[in-house]
Amino acid sequence: MSKWVRAHTNIALIKYWGKENEALIIPKNNSLSLTLDAFYTDTKVTFKADLAADELILDGEKQDQTALKKVSAVLDLIREKAGMTEFATVESVNYVPTAAGLASSASGLAALAGAANEAAGLNLSSEALSRLARRGSGSASRSIYGGFVEWEKGTDDQTSVARPVDDANWDIGMLFIIVKDAKKDVSSRDGMRRTVETSPFYDGWLATLDRDLAEMKAAISEQDIDKVGTIAERNALKMHATTLGANPPFTYWSADSMVAMDAVRTLRKEGHSVYFTMDAGPNVKVICKQSEMKTIKQALCAYFGEEQIISAAPGPGIQVMEN
Ligand code: DP6
């Protein structure tokens, strides 16, 4: 039966950056993320006998072929499992506070996997949903679960899945700084491909990941925000360094990203537990204690408008909505 399914976005503290297998979206390395409550996607899938192709309606607007590609990749797998041939209408609503422009493929593809499972009546396990979401977008595999989640790279389609690590029910949260000088970006898919193929720094990135991951897991089990933040920040900087070595080189940083990173360093010198991470875009995510979030947000308002800073707490895994 068609039902709305909600999935929250996640931000990686140990980044996924590069694929071992492009077609199956099997990554080069394990990654670890925190699912957050502030950004999420609601999706409903309806299979219809009279459709000539899948269609995606996002926030009320019909999307083009590019957006549909990842969606149909997931729907094809569902059709195969269910022995169905019908195409589907996918209705999706992104919940993003203010005009942040934070479209999230992680929450979107995770919600889609859940909604397609409901519509096809497959009754898939969370593990199967994670695998399915992964085939739409790698980071979506992690949004099936709440709290801290590790995506184990695995060796094939079956073994490459995310698993919950910790419920994050302790004093940790994230502030999103939405910078204004966003430029035309390189998608994460293209960016990681170019980096793997051309950057001499890519091997260096891979070489230290096991250590970062092991230390991160220990820091999470100790609920030590300073260790978590320190490792996340150095991991993100290493990932971003690989893009500068790519050919042609590129960066996701803008002038405002640098202002934000510097602000975080300044706050840290003043004694706060505050660290940053960044993904395939110029926005900066600030890891801090939930109990200090108001103070940190206030301090960041010296650099950015209040409407540019969004608070997030750890969020839940996917949910089937009653209506
Ligand atoms: C920098 O999951 O968007 O956010 O698998 O090609 O769809 P595809 O890529 P995607 O990449 C996310 C990259 C990242 C780091 C991370 O989320 O781990």
Question: Is there an atom of ligand 1 within 6 Å of 16 CB?
Answer: yes
Q: Supply 139's token pair.
A: 């980071």
Question: Is there an atom of ligand 1 within 6 Å of 268 CB?
Answer: no
Alpha carbon of 168 to ligand 1 centroid (Å)? 22
Question: Is there an atom of ligand 1 within 6 Å of 137 CB?
Answer: yes
Question: Is there an atom of ligand 1 within 6 Å of 212 CB?
Answer: no
Which ligand 1 atom is at minimum distance from the Cα of 280?
Answer: 1
For 114-134, letters b (16+ CB in 10 Å) and e give bbbbbbbebebebebbbbbbb
Give the whole-angstrom CA distance, residue 178 versus residue 309: 6
pLDDT for the residue 185: 80
What residue ranges of the chain have pLDDT lower than 70?
97-103, 181-184, 323
Q: Supply 281's token pair.
A: 């875009």
Q: Whose CA is nearest to atom 6 of ligand 1?
A: 189
Residue 52, C-beta contacts closer than 8 angstroms, at least 6 positions apart: 87
Question: Is there an atom of ligand 1 within 6 Å of 242 CB?
Answer: no
Which ligand 1 atom is at minimum distance from the Cα of 106?
Answer: 2
CA separation, residue 254 to residues 18, 193, 217, 227 (Å): 22, 21, 31, 27
Q: Whose CA is nearest to atom 3 of ligand 1?
A: 188
Question: Is there an atom of ligand 1 within 6 Å of 31 CB?
Answer: yes
Which ligand 1 atom is at minimum distance from the Cα of 33?
Answer: 18
Question: Is there an atom of ligand 1 within 6 Å of 188 CB?
Answer: yes
Q: Name the residue of 188, 192, 279 whose CB sits within 8 Å of the most ligand 1 atoms, as the mutation to test its pocket.
A: 188
Question: Is there an atom of ligand 1 within 6 Å of 236 CB?
Answer: no
Residue 44, C-beta contacts closer than 8 angstroms, at least 6 positions apart: 2, 3, 4, 5, 90, 91, 92, 115, 119
Question: What pTM does this model have?
Answer: 0.97
Amino acid at 22: E
Alpha carbon of 189 to ligand 1 centroid (Å)? 7
Which ligand 1 atom is at minimum distance from the Cα of 70?
Answer: 7
Question: Is there an atom of ligand 1 within 6 Å of 186 CB?
Answer: no
Residues 39-88: tens digit of each pLDDT: 999 999 999 999 999 999 999 999 998 889 999 999 999 999 999 999 99
Amino acid at 323: N
Question: Is there an atom of ligand 1 within 6 Å of 25 CB?
Answer: yes
Q: Supply 30's token pair.
A: 């394990």
pLDDT for the residue 101: 54
